[in-house]
Amino acid sequence: MQEVLKITKAKMEEQQRQWLIFHLFIWLVVIVLVIRSQWSKKIPSVGLPWMYLLSLCMIHWFGALIYAFPWYETKSAYLISKHASLVNTAIGFEQSTYGVIAFGLGSLIVAPLLLKMLNPPWLYEFPRMPNLNLIKTYIYIGLLFAFVLSPILVRIPSGAALAVPGISLFVVGLCLACWKSWYMGDMQAFIRWLALSCCLPLFTLLFLGFMSFGTAATVVVLLFVFNFYRPRWKLVVIALLVTYLGLSVFVTYFRDRQDIRATSGGDNARIEQMSKTVSNFEFFNLFKQEQLEMIDTRLNQNTFVGVSVQRLSNGLIDYADGATIEQAVLAAVPRVLWPGKTVASGSGDLVSTYTGIDVADGTSMGVGQVLEFYINFSTWGVVLGFLVLGTILRVIDITAGYKLNSGNLVGFVSWFLPGIGLIQPINSLVNIVQTLGGSVVLVYLINGIYLRKAGRRNRANAS
C-alpha cells in the first residue's frame, strides 16, 4: 500500500512538472510577442510593458522554473512537504500565467486598437529639436530628492508619495542621457552612463543595505536602452548574460545579506564585508541545492498564490470582493486633504490573512498583483486586472514613445515617470495608486510650473 502511494505521488508530481513546463513556455511566447511588438517600427515604444513582464518574471517565472527541475528538493521555510510545495507552486503559477496572457492581450491588441479608435489629439505632435539641457536638470532634481528632500518629505502628510517618483527622476535622467549619447554617436558617453546605471545596485547596497531599489532602477535603464540599441542579435546575447550574471549576484548577495545589513551604511565595516562578498563570488549553478532554495525563498510568489487559492476554494476564508481595490481608490486621496484616512501604504497583513502563514513582527511581505486580483474576484479578477493593467501600461508606453520621437522631452517625462510607477508587481494596488498619484503631481510641479518659469526667465534674460 505504501509503495502504491509513493508511485501515485510520483506520477502526480511528474504531471505537475509537465504543466509547469507548459506554462513556462506560454510565458516565453507572450514575452517574445510583446518584445517583438515593442521593437516594431509601426508603433513607438519606450519598453514599459517589457519592464513590467521582466519584473513579474523575477517573482513568478524563476520560482516556477526551479520546481520543473526533478533534482530540486524543496526546504521551504513555510511548507513541510515537498509535494505540497510543488502543488502550491503549480497552482499559483497557473494563475500568474492567466494574468500574463491577459496582460499580453491588453498590450498587443486592446491598447493599440483603443488609441486607433479614439485617436486622442495629445498623441501626435510636430517634431522639434529636443531641449537636451533638460536631461541634466532631471538628473540633478532626482539627486536632490534622493539626498535632501526625501528624508524631509517622508515626515510630511502626503510627502512620502512624492519621494519615490522624485528619486525616479534620476533614473529617467539616466535613460535620457543614454538615449542622447547613442543618437549623437558618442559611444564613450553612452558606455559611461550605462556603467553608472549598472552600479546603482552597488550604491544602494553600500548605503542602504538593500539591492532591490538599485536593481529595479538598473532594469528600467537597461530595458529602455534595449528598445533602441542595435544590432538586435546582440541584445539576445547581452540579455542572457545579464540574466545569468543577475542570478549570480542574487545568490551571492542573499548568502551574505545579513552580514552586510548588520554593518552601518557606507562605513568601513560594510565596505570590508562587501569586499569579502565579492572575493567569494558565486556563479549561479542550476544543480546547486542551496542556490535553488534561495530562489524558492525570495523569488517564488507562486507559493503564496497557490496556498491562498486552495484556502479560498475550500471555504477556509472569504474573498475580499473588491475591498482592496476600494482601498486603492481611497488611497488616491492625499492624506493632507484627509488627515484621518485609514488606508496605509504597503500590503499590510493580506499575505498572512489569505495564506494562513504566520509572519514575524516587523516582516513585510508584498502581496503582488496576481494574489491581490485573485483574492478579490478569483481567476476572473486576475484576467480582467491584468488586461486593464496591460492596456493602460501600453497606452502610456506608446504615448511616451511618440513624445520622445518628436523631441518633446517634457512630454516624454510626463508619461514615462507615471509609467514607471506602475511597474510594481510585488506591491499592493494601494502602493501603485499612491506612487502613480505622486508621479502625476510631481510631473505637474516640475514640468508645468518649475520648467515653465525657468523657460520664461531664460527668454527674458536673452532679450
Q: Is 337 exposed, middle or buried (0-12, 13-18, 19+ CB in 10 A)?
A: exposed
- pLDDT higher for 435 or 261? 435
pLDDT of residue 7: 57
pLDDT of residue 285: 87
pLDDT in tens, 194-223: 999 988 888 887 777 677 788 888 999 999
Q: Are the C-beta atoms of 106 and 394 separated by less than 8 Å?
A: yes
Name the pLDDT band for 80 (thresholds 50, 70, 90).
very low
pLDDT of residue 453: 61
Whole-number Å distance between alpha carbons of 89 and 92: 5
Grid coordinates belonging to 175: 535613460
Cα distances (Å, whole numbers) of residue 22 to 16, 42, 102, 365: 10, 31, 17, 28
pLDDT of residue 462: 46
Task: State yes or no: pLDDT of 78 exceeds 60.
Answer: no
| Rounded average pLDDT over 316-326 | 89
Q: Are the C-beta atoms of 81 and 306 separated by less than 8 Å?
A: no
33 contacts: CB under 8 Å, gap ≥ 6: 104, 108
pLDDT of residue 270: 72
Task: State yes or no: pLDDT of 27 exceeds 90.
Answer: yes
344 contacts: CB under 8 Å, gap ≥ 6: 430
Task: State yes or no: pLDDT of 323 exceeds 60.
Answer: yes
Name the pLDDT band for 364 (thresholds 50, 70, 90).
low
pTM of the shown model: 0.90
Cα distances (Å, whole numbers) of residue 293 to 62, 220, 302, 409: 12, 27, 14, 44
Cell 486576475 identifies what position? 382
Run of H or E including 101:
helix 82-105
Name the pLDDT band for 13 (thresholds 50, 70, 90).
confident
Long-range contacts of residues 111-120, Cβ cutoff 8 Å, at least 24 apart: 111/390, 111/391, 111/392, 111/394, 111/395, 111/398, 112/43, 112/394, 112/398, 114/391, 114/395, 115/395, 115/398
* Single-letter amino acid code for the residue at 229: Y
pLDDT of residue 463: 47
Question: What share of the chain in percent tops pLDDT 90?
Answer: 34
Residue 124 CA, chain-centre distance (Å), reads 28
| Rounded average pLDDT over 126-151 | 87
| Rounded average pLDDT over 250-276 | 75
Whole-number Å distance between alpha carbons of 73 and 20: 16
174 contacts: CB under 8 Å, gap ≥ 6: 139, 193, 196, 197, 217, 221
Long-range contacts of residues 206-211, Cβ cutoff 8 Å, at least 24 apart: 206/265, 206/266, 206/270, 206/271, 206/274, 207/265, 207/266, 208/265, 209/257, 209/260, 209/261, 209/263, 209/265, 209/270, 210/261, 211/249, 211/253
pLDDT of residue 100: 97
- pLDDT higher for 358 or 389? 389
Phi, psi of 421 (to 5 degrees): -60, -25
pLDDT of residue 259: 75
Task: State yes or no: pLDDT of 262 exceeds 80.
Answer: no
- Stated length of the chain: 463
53 contacts: CB under 8 Å, gap ≥ 6: 30, 31, 34, 100, 103
- pLDDT higher for 18 or 2? 18
Grid coordinates belonging to 302: 507562486
Highest mean pLDDT of the ranges 115-119, 145-149, 452-456 = 115-119
pLDDT in tens, 81-114: 555 788 888 999 999 999 999 999 999 999 999 9
Within 10 angstroms of residue 407's Cβ, the number of other Cβ atoms is: 16
pLDDT of residue 455: 54
Region of 181 (left: φ > 0; alpha: ψ -120 to 50; beta: rest) is: alpha
Least confident of 12-16, 54-58, 79-83, 157-161: 79-83
Cα distances (Å, whole numbers) of residue 111 to 43, 100, 114, 421, 429: 11, 15, 5, 19, 21
187-198 and 160-183 are packed helices; what angle lies between their axes, rounded to 10 degrees?
Answer: 150
Name the pLDDT band for 177 (thresholds 50, 70, 90).
very high
Task: State yes or no: pLDDT of 381 exceeds 90.
Answer: yes
| Rounded average pLDDT over 62-70 | 89
pLDDT in tens, 423-436: 999 888 888 888 88
pLDDT of residue 113: 93
Name the pLDDT band for 451 (thresholds 50, 70, 90).
low
Within 10 angstroms of residue 318's Cβ, the number of other Cβ atoms is: 10
Whole-number Å distance between alpha carbons of 397 and 105: 15
Rounded to the nearest integer, the mean pLDDT of the chain is 84
